[in-house]
Amino acid sequence: MVAGGASHRKMHTMIISSAPEGRWNSVAPSGAQREDAVACRPVACATGYRASALPGLLKPANATRCASNQTPAAIAKRTRAATVQGNITLSHASPETRRSSPLDTPPRGTYARATMKTILQMLLGAALAMLGCAQAAEPVGQADTTKWKLVWADEFDYTGLPDPKKWDYEEGFVRNNEPQYYTRGRLENARVENGTLILEARKEPFKNPRFKPGLTKQGKPQRESADYTAASLITQNRATWRYGRMELRAKLPQGEGTWPAFWTLGSNHSTGWPACGEIDIMEYWARKLHEMTSTVHWRKDGKHQQDSGKLNVPESLGEYHVYALEWNAERMDFFCDGNKYHTVPLAKLDEQGDNAFRKPHYILLNLALESRNKKLAATVFPQQFVVDYVRVYEAK
């Protein structure tokens, strides 16, 4: 985005709720809506990966709240966030949830038999679910926690606008003559739901609230309105880092003309771009389908320089992948799903005794649109950049 050892995994944890008479009800938390239970239909375990369960072991659709008054999806996301730091969460159901369970009302006169049957069903269901979790494919490429210590993260285990303590917004027509207007605090373009951050590009008429007739930007007249809206989140004035590991797990939009990115800029804007330094950890043009890119931008001898790496990913980039940068005083290494595909030595980036990559940077997470892509007009909107988490680590 031109600005002008041991793999760390989320632990597989069953979330269990207590029920009367010593019986246990399996809860199926998931980032997606719960599917109706049918024989051998996949359901989600606490990690968000899929397992199998028998019919009759899931809670009915109207029993979705627990004692903390959060949805199972939120509980699961909170559990996953806790396990990142080595904790395991056990969630107990509320009396309302317990009363709603069909297992709590055995037919009159068959209480003992029904109770024993229930216990056996639940034990078998729990065993199958845990087996499914154990066999499910885990995300690859996450941080090795024997080498890295988590220092900042957003697991998106809440609902509504992005956390204002962690994120600010870029606003307006920001760069590259892109057609989208970046909005601030607008749920249609940036929201957290079902344990994920959604950055959404929309095709809609939108008046520029900053428009003033006669004013220009970089010698060009201001635009009075936009045909597209989107969002760009930044940690500027919230958090910056020099060195460490920055990691994103996300699904990328596939519509022609979409341009999502996970990147950094040097905090010292007074030097201008590209002297402040830019690190594109993940940059994707949907027109290139399976190709993702990482690029470092800097100034050398007064001129813009860049060093890019490209990776062809056979699987769809519309599915979840883990993108990461490992940055130290010697070099920057870029990864996709644990595969290192690009390295940039920091010594190469020196500029007259200065180096923008030995100074703090902040994170940007945005969904832009290509201004020169003639196929953009035919793309079906809205388009979504779906983020599971953003994490920052420091070396141990």
Which of 392, 310, 366, 353 is closest to 2 using CA atoms?
Answer: 366
Report the DSSP pairing between strands 225-230 and 180-182. Answer: parallel
Task: Single out the catalytic residue among 283, 330, 370, 394.
Answer: 283
The separation between CA 285 and the C-alpha centre of its own chain, rounded to angstroms, equals 18
Pick from 239, 180, 261, 249: which is nearest to 361 by CA?
Answer: 239
342 forms beta bridges with: 334
DSSP 309-323: EEEE-SS-TTS-EEE
Nearest to residue 3, comparing CAs of 280, 238, 201, 247?
280
User: CA angle, 198 as apex, 196 and 201 as ends, to 5°?
Assistant: 170
C-beta of residue 169 within 8 angstroms of C-beta of residue 233: yes
Catalytic residue at 171?
no
Q: Residue 16: CB partners within 8 Å, gap ≥ 6?
A: 24, 25, 26, 27, 90, 91, 126
Question: Is residue 224 among the annotated active site residues?
Answer: no
Catalytic residue among 278, 291, 326, 394: 278
279-298 as b/e, with b when 16 or more CB fall inside 10 Å? Answer: bbbbbbbbbeeeebbbbbbb
Angle, alpha carbons 99-101-103 (nearest 5°): 115
User: Catalytic residue positions?
Assistant: 278, 283
